Amino acid sequence: MNIEEDYSFDCPYCMDTNVIRIDPTGGEKQQFVQDCETCCRPMVIKFEVGPESITNFSAERE
């Protein structure tokens, strides 16, 4: 896996596509809050970093 990787997902509010940059060096399990690029509502982003890819990704309403 690259040092940083872009990851696309749909906003749980407006369903518009958002893109975040994931840094796998931040830990195996990561969680943070980010506002949607379109509707500006807060989303809780959760994911796990595996040896080769992102696993168990979710974007939920805060």
**In the structure encoding, which two tokens stand for residue 12, read together?**
């749980």
Q: What is the pLDDT of residues 51-62, one digit of tens each?
A: 888 889 999 999
Q: How far apart are CA 23 and CA 37, in angstroms?
A: 19
Residue 2: predicted pLDDT: 57
- Strands across the sheet with 54-61, in order? 29-35, 42-49, 54-61
Q: Which residue has the higher pLDDT, 27 or 33?
A: 33
Domain ranges of the chain: 5-61
Residue 30: predicted pLDDT: 95
pTM of the prediction? Answer: 0.83
Q: Which residue has the higher pLDDT, 27 or 58?
A: 58
Residue 24 phi, psi (nearest 5): -65, -15
Residue 26 phi, psi (nearest 5): -75, -5
Q: What is the pLDDT of residues 1-23, one digit of tens each?
A: 557 889 999 999 999 999 999 88
